[in-house]
C-alpha cells in the first residue's frame, strides 16, 4: 500500500541545499512493513503563509529499496529509497498556491480519517505514517499533475566525479565540479564541501591503511598481487546527495565493483552489512573493522 508521511519543511529545504537525497527516514517500522518496492510514499508539510497554516505536497518517492541505517544515524533506523528516474520533488515555497489542506481531509486511510482536523491539528495527526487507500493515491496523483517539479532536486553533480574531485590534492578540480551551471547547491554547502576536501583525503588514507588496500567486499588484494593499491573509497550515502564525510559512511571497494554499485544504484544495509542490488543480488562485506551492524 502507498503511504503518507509528514516532512518538516526545514528538513526538505536542507535536503535541497545539500543535494536532494530521494530517500526518507523514520523511527517508525511501518516505513518498511507497510510499503513494498514499486509503491509510493507521499510527503507533505505545513507552512505558515500570511499568518495562516497551509499545506504543501513536497515529494512522491517511488520506492526502489528499503534499508537499515547506521546505529548512529539520528533520523531513525528505517530508510526507503526513491527511484530517481520516477520520483518527484515538488515546488513548495510560500508563493505556491497549491494548498492541499482540503485534499488531505478527503483522503481515505486504513482505520482513520482527517475530516475532523483543522489547519493546526492536521499536521500533528500525521506525525504517524499513514497507510492510504488506492482511491487516495489516485486523488494525490491527479493533484500532482498540476504541480511543478522542483528543479534543484536533480541539479546535483555526478557522484563519481565529485568523489574524485574531493580526493584530489588541489581545490581547482573540486571547484570545476561545484561551479557547473547544472549544480544547484546552496553556496554554504559548496563551501562546506571545499572545507571537507582535506578530511576526505585523510579518511581515504585511513581506510587504505585499515584494510591494507583490499576491497572490503571481494577481498581483492591488489597491493599483494600487483604491488599497487587500486581499491577506491565509496560513500554509502552519496556526498552529492547529502552524505557525510565520516568513516561510518565509507567503504573501500575494487574499481569494477565500485562502478557496478554506482551504475546499478545499489544501496547499503547496516543490518546485513551488505550492498543490495535491485535484481536481488546481495554483496556482503567480507572485511570489516569499522562499520557497526544495527540490529532491530
User: What pLDDT digit, counting tens, does each position of 30-69 carry?
Assistant: 999 999 999 999 999 999 888 888 999 999 999 999 999 9
Per-residue pLDDT, 95? 62
Per-residue pLDDT, 118? 82
Per-residue pLDDT, 124? 83
Mean pLDDT of 79-90: 97
16-30, 91-105, 203-217, 277-291, range with the lowest pLDDT? 91-105
Higher pLDDT, 96 or 128: 128
Mean pLDDT of 73-100: 89
Mean pLDDT of 56-84: 96
Phi-psi map region of 227: left, alpha, beta (phi>0 left; psi -120 to 50 alpha) = left
All structural domains of the chain, each given as residue ranges with its CATH number in brackets, are: 3-153 (3.10.590.10), 156-284 (no CATH)
Phi-psi map region of 18: left, alpha, beta (phi>0 left; psi -120 to 50 alpha) = alpha
Per-residue pLDDT, 206? 96
In sequence order, the 6+-apart residues with CB closer than 8 A to the CB of 194 are 171, 174, 175, 178
- What does residue 154 show for φ and ψ, rounded to 5 degrees? -110, 10
Portion of the chain with pLDDT greater than 90, in percent: 83
Is residue 149 helix, strand or coil? strand
Contact 65, 38 (CB under 8 A): no
**DSSP run (H or E) holding 57:** strand 52-68
Contact 183, 157 (CB under 8 A): yes
**DSSP run (H or E) holding 253:** strand 250-253
**pTM of the full predicted structure?**
0.94
Per-residue pLDDT, 109? 85
CA–CA distance, 221 with 211 (Å, rounded to integer): 9
> Between β-strands 3-6 and 40-49, what pairing exists: parallel, antiparallel or unpaired?
parallel
- pLDDT tier at 272, thresholds 50, 70, 90: very high
Higher pLDDT, 181 or 117: 181
Per-residue pLDDT, 94? 58
User: How many beta carbons lie within 10 A of that of residue 27, not counting itself?
Assistant: 10
Per-residue pLDDT, 113? 75
The C-alpha cell at 249 is: 559512511
Residue length of the chain: 296
- Would the pLDDT of 111 be above 70? no
- Would the pLDDT of 212 be above 90? yes
What confidence tens digit (pLDDT) does each residue in 120-152 have? 888 888 888 999 999 999 999 999 999 999 999
Contact 267, 67 (CB under 8 A): yes
Mean pLDDT of 178-194: 95
- Would the pLDDT of 96 be above 70? no
- Would the pLDDT of 253 be above 90? yes
Amino acid at each position: 500500500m502507498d503511504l503518507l508521511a509528514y516532512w518538516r519543511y526545514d528538513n526538505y529545504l536542507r535536503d535541497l541545499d545539500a543535494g536532494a537525497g530521494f530517500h526518507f527516514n523514520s523511527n517508525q517500522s511501518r516505513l518498511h512493513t507497510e510499503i513494498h518496492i514499486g509503491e509510493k510514499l507521499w510527503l507533505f508539510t505545513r507552512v505558515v503563509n500570511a499568518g495562516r497554516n497551509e499545506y504543501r505536497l513536497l515529494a512522491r518517492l517511488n520506492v526502489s529499496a528499503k534499508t537499515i541505517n547506521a546505529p548512529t544515524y539520528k533520523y531513525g533506523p528505517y530508510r526507503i529509497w526513491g527511484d530517481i528516474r520516477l520520483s518527484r520533488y515538488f515546488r513548495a515555497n510560500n508563493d505556491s498556491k497549491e494548498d492541499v489542506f482540503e485534499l488531505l481531509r478527503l483522503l481515505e486511510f486504513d482505520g482513520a480519517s482527517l475530516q475532523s482536523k483543522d489547519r493546526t491539528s492536521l499536521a500533528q495527526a500525521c506525525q504517524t505514517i499513514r497507510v492510504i487507500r488506492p482511491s487516495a493515491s489516485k486523488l494525490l496523483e491527479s493533484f500532482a499533475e498540476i504541480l511543478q517539479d522542483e528543479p534543484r532536486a536533480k541539479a546535483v553533480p555526478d557522484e563519481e566525479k565529485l568523489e574524485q574531485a574531493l580526493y584530489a590534492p588541489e581545490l581547482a578540480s573540486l571547484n570545476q565540479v561545484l561551479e557547473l551551471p547544472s549544480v544547484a547547491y546552496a553556496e554554504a554547502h559548496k563551501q562546506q564541501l571545499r572545507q571537507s576536501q582535506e578530511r576526505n583525503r585523510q579518511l581515504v588514507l585511513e581506510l587504505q591503511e585499515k584494510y591494507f588496500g583490499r576491497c572490503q567486499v571481494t577481498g581483492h588484494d591488489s597491493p599483494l598481487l600487483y604491488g599497487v593499491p587500486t581499491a577506491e573509497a565509496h560513500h554509502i550515502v552519496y556526498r552529492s546527495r547529502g552524505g557525510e564525510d565520516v568513516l561510518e559512511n565509507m567503504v573501500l571497494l575494487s574499481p569494477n565493483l565500485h562502478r557496478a554499485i554506482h551504475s546499478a544504484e545499489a544501496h547499503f544495509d547496516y543490518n546485513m552489512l551488505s550492498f543490495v542490488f535491485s535484481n536481488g543480488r546481495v554483496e556482503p562485506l567480507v572485511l570489516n573493522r569499522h562499520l557497526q551492524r544495527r540490529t532491530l
